[in-house]
Amino acid sequence: MKSHPIVLAVQPESTDHVRGPSHARVTLIEYGDFESAACKGAVPTLKLLLEQHPNKIRFIFRHFPNEQGHPQAVLAAEAAEAAAAQGKFWEMHDLLFQRQPHFAPKELQAYAAAVGLDTVRYTAEMDDHIYLQKVREQIDGAHRSHLHASPAFFVGAVHQDTTAGMRQLHETIAQAMHRAG
């Protein structure tokens, strides 16, 4: 009996965090966790893919923190959303992975200052957890896509298994680009 592929439940949205052009040949979506060593390990591969295929890949990052295994992951996701509200999502994304796993509130506050956020606004938004709902919605989207762990990748709308390594992701993207012309 052949299993059915896991299909993306939530298509790309205007509120997604995107690197690359909207007209790119291939869309790559990651459901990730800032406190996950595996997600941190995927960062160099993702950067390489974007460098190798400029303007041909649209990369979207969505939150899928493992709340049981990574107790600060939701807070880090909220910090990334607070940065996004000030136009600095990717700067915070990169810094969070560089500084993993140091995500105590005082450390996140220092990262907010380091990426140039208005720290008064950042503190007020974090104290009120105003981005927690968005994080929860992305977690729900991951669950509706039948995901159980991060990182989880979709090329187009089809899940790409990377449990054996990231090489398969490179190959799948190359195939998708070839099909796209």
User: In terms of CATH, what superfamily is 17-180?
Assistant: Glutaredoxin (3.40.30.10)
Residue 1 confidence (pLDDT): 47
For residues 159 and 8, the answer to whether their CB atoms sit within 8 Å is yes
Q: The whole model's pTM is what?
A: 0.95
What's the pLDDT band for 180 if we cut at 50, 70, 90? confident
- List 57's β-bridge partners, or say none: 26
> What is the widest separation between alpha-carbon atoms in the chain?
57
Is residue 66 predicted with pLDDT exceeding 60? yes
3 pLDDT band (50/70/90 cuts)?
low
CB 152 within 8 A of CB 7: no
Determine the Cα angle at 112 with ends 82 and 97, to 5°.
Answer: 90
Q: How far apart are CA 174 and CA 69, in angstroms?
A: 34
Domain ranges of the chain: 17-180
